[in-house]
Amino acid sequence: MTILSYLNRAFNGFSSSSKILVVFSLSGGGLLAYSESQSNSPSNNVEHERLSNKKKVVVLGTGWASTSFLKDLDISRYDVQVVSPRNYFAFTPLLPSVTCGTVEARSIVEPIRNIIKKKDGEIQFWEAECTKIDAANKKVFCRSVIESSLVGKKEFALDYDYLVVATGAEVNTFNTPGVMEYCHFLKEVEDAQKIRRSVLDCFEKAILPDLTDEERRISLHFVIVGGGPTGVEFAAELHDFVHEDIVKLYPMVKDLVKITLIQSGDHILNTYDSRISSFAEQKFARDGIHVNTGCRVLGVSNKEVNVKVKSTGENVSMPHGMVVWSTGVSTRPVVKDFMDQIGQGKRKVLATDEWLRVKGCENVYAVGDCATIDQRKIMEDIGAIFNAADKDKSGTLTVEEFQEIIDDILIRYPQVGLHLQSKHLLSVTDLLNDPEGNARKEIDIEGFKSALSQVDSQMKSLPATAQVAAQQGTYLSSCFNKRELANFIPEGPRRFKGTGRHDFLPFRYKHLGSFAPLGGEQAAAELPGDWVSVGRSTQWLWYSIYASKQVSWRTRVLVVSDWTRRFIFGRDSSRI
């Protein structure tokens, strides 16, 4: 220690590189290792300053939107922290397959820590639930979801510069009595596992001795409420499970099984093309799946489902063995509390602008099922648009002047393009034609308002699907990666109210198609370009696309191997 202290004093005036050279020359044939902490060296100061200058990004959730955001985010620019009660990402479109053992639960989940590993930095993950968002002080309050007697506090708070809310949504019960107590849901992996166990329980109960046939029929009556994609896919999976696997194990009750699908609308899959809805209803009729459309559930008990038939006004009671509720989503309490803080308390869903920024709150973004995009109406800016195009301030707008701002209008107000398609117009300038369809050389402000008055009727909300959420996450990460560049070279459309241009292009959803597996190795697909495909070939297309969309090679191999196992050995009926 005396020698090292002497060297420290002797070399105090030398630079780091000089110290290394002197030490090695003194060491001769031996090797002397000497180091001194250089906390005040310029390089360390620069590194510390770089880290402290990183903006803090807190992400809530590990679903489709947040995972897509994290995968593409350049984290060398940000200090990123993720909070979620789930430490994995789940491929939710395959949840109906998990309910019947076609695919195992662990085959569709990927640990979030595997996904967020980055070469250029580290993303911190906390397995906790966000209990409150404090927008005024830029904090989120969280509570650990680990139920144990481990020491330490369960609650903590995180500061943020940017907040990305991607908490998803919860099941919408519409305040129907008994739903929370007596229904199964299909929103999480745990839900699918519970359904699988309950299905097997119903069969085990039905074969017990001393039961009447009526009691067995009730135990084997499976009711699905909701004729959307999830409800339809589960009904198809359950039908295949029963008729391909279960009847071999429980032959004594094979004729007592009944599957009923209840839909409040006039058709199932009513968000799809009418050709797909019709095909699905016809196939279910052939398969013996009872589809009750135009029915509203009034209440659920442990024994019955009370239904009102809209056409007759009659109330009907359905005895059941199990009920699965799949009727849409609603806002989570933590998001609802946040909405109350920022003046959105009267809305049902958190609203963002076209850049996914939460309205009424700075530096907070929302993606996925927890939010909806509030597209700005063109009529709100009609005067500003007219003034921007009227360069000579003549009070009238020529076709040439209008053409100069057409591109910015189409980008800023996508409903204009939809309106052109619905009216079968070839050009935006055709909007300026007179009521008889004749071209006009110029138009005044009142005529301009009249020409665009019907455009906003084409505005539509995006569906709460994995496809939308994934595209939003990818888009938002792109904006974060280009934030510094956009300050100097904005890429968005012009600001009609104000000067300059928007920093980024607004989010645009590109529909890549929708699938609906219908059982019996048949599926229906709605593809871009108004194409509809149904049948066995569509099912194989579904297999290939869903395999390719897995987030890792591990889950891709597991899912394909599960499908192969099912083809060879059938589904597993063990109650685990």
pLDDT tens-digit profile of 235-267? 999 999 999 999 999 999 999 999 999 999 999
Q: Tell me, what's the pLDDT at 27? A: 37
Architecture of domain 378-457: Orthogonal Bundle (1.10)
Residue 336, pLDDT above cutoff 50: yes
Phi-psi region of 427 (alpha: psi -120 to 50; beta: other; left: phi over 0): beta
CA 210: distance to chain centroid? 48
Which pairs with CB-CB distance under 8 Å and at least 24 residues apart come from 425-433? 428/402, 429/399, 429/402, 429/403, 431/455, 432/397, 432/399, 432/402
Question: CA 336, CA 349: separation in Å to the nearest integer?
Answer: 8
CATH pick for 183-327+512-569 out of 3.40.50.1000, 3.40.50.300, 3.50.50.100, 3.40.190.10: 3.50.50.100
Q: What percent of the chain has a predicted confidence (pLDDT) above 70? A: 91
Give residue-wise pLDDT tens across range 497-526: 988 999 999 999 999 999 999 999 999 999
**Would you state the torsion angle of the CA atoms of residues 413, 414, 416, 417, taken in this order, to the nearest 10 degrees?**
150
Look at residues 248, 191, 281, 213 and name the one whose alpha carbon lies nearest to residue 240. Answer: 248
Q: Which residue has the higher pLDDT, 133 or 427?
A: 133
pTM score, whole prediction: 0.88
Residue 38: C-alpha distances to residues 43, 52, 249, 360 (Å) = 9, 19, 73, 47
The pLDDT of residue 43 is 52
pLDDT of residue 12: 47
What's the pLDDT at 427?
Answer: 84
- Output the CATH code of domain 54-172+329-375+461-510: 3.50.50.100
- DSSP symbol at 284: H
- DSSP E strands in 435-550: the ranges are 442-444, 514-519, 522-527, 531-535
Burial 395-417 (b: 16+ CB within 10 A, else e): ebbbeebbeebeebbebbbbbbe
Q: Is the pLDDT of residue 121 over 80?
A: no
Single-letter amino acid, residue 139: K
pLDDT tens column, 437-454: 788 888 999 999 998 999
Task: Report whether pLDDT(576) > 90.
Answer: no
Task: Say if CB 324 and CB 186 are below 8 A apart.
Answer: yes
Q: How much of the chain, in percent, has pLDDT values that exceed 90?
A: 79
- Cα–Cα distances (Å) from 478 to 383, 472, 491, in that order, read 32, 10, 12
Q: Where do you find CATH 1.10.238 in the chain?
A: 378-457
pLDDT score at 440: 86
As a whole number of angstroms, the distance between CA 457 and CA 416 comes to 10
CA atoms within 13 A on the CB side of 203: 24
Q: What phi and psi values does residue 206 have, to the nearest 5 degrees?
A: -70, -25
> What are the residue ranges of CATH 3.50.50.100 in the chain?
54-172+329-375+461-510, 183-327+512-569
What H or E segment, with its residue span, contains residue 365?
strand 364-366
φ, ψ for residue 72, nearest 5 deg: -100, -5
Report helix, strand or coil for 304.
strand
**What is the average per-residue pLDDT within 534-542?**
96
The region of weakest confidence among 16-30, 146-160, 208-222, 258-272 is 16-30
Rounding to the nearest 10 degrees, give the CA dihedral for residues 326, 330, 335, 341: -170
Q: What are phi and psi of 325, to 5 degrees?
A: -105, 120
Q: Is 161 within 8 Å of 55 (Cβ atoms)?
A: yes
Above 80 in pLDDT, residue 274? yes
